[in-house]
Chain A
Amino acid sequence: QKEVEQNSGPLSVPEGAIASLNCTYSDRGSQSFFWYRQYSGKSPELIMFIYSNGDKEDGRFTAQLNKASQYVSLLIRDSQPSDSATYLCAVRMDSSYKLIFGSGTRLLVRP
């Protein structure tokens, strides 16, 4: 079992829809959770981080964390074609600050 799992996609949604990206992790002691966006040929850029159960909203983005289910998700409201990218889920599993990344979900937003 991989430490951080994501569906590779592609997840295809129409412009204006809500895109829902999911991530599960194996270590119950995981402390912090991150969503990065990576455009083709570019480096990952941080979208959001969350470390408490519940929802955290930032503009069109909402991160949701459920530690009991070992599940973290990212919702993108009013999806735009410019949101088309690979979304990487990353988990900090211990005090070392090493991040474990999932393989990423490719999102395609159709105009």
Chain B
Amino acid sequence: GAGVSQSPRYKVAKRGQDVALRCDPISGHVSLFWYQQALGQGPEFLTYFQNEAQLDKSGLPSDRFFAERPEGSVSTLKIQRTQQEDSAVYLCASSLTAFDTGELFFGEGSRLTVL
């Protein structure tokens, strides 16, 4: 597709379940970012990939959060043993090169609700 695609768009999980959220960036984009957006707040940075290398994971809130991008294209954000405070919209963004200063392209997000 032409843009960043995320799936599922909506996910409801019971507390303690594991979830996996997928991001398909724009084809050929080197950089990939994950953000978490709680209700009424601005997006907060989670982690950054340059191709398959995870260069920054400083925003991951706990060791229950894990992200991967094994072939440098599709990325998966995994949350283990979900808690209610994990309820949020998870946004993925990509950009063309590693050193560009321009536009990040965002997906529509995956809304996670933990009951």
Are A and B bound to each other?
A: no
Residues of A within 8 A of B (CB): none
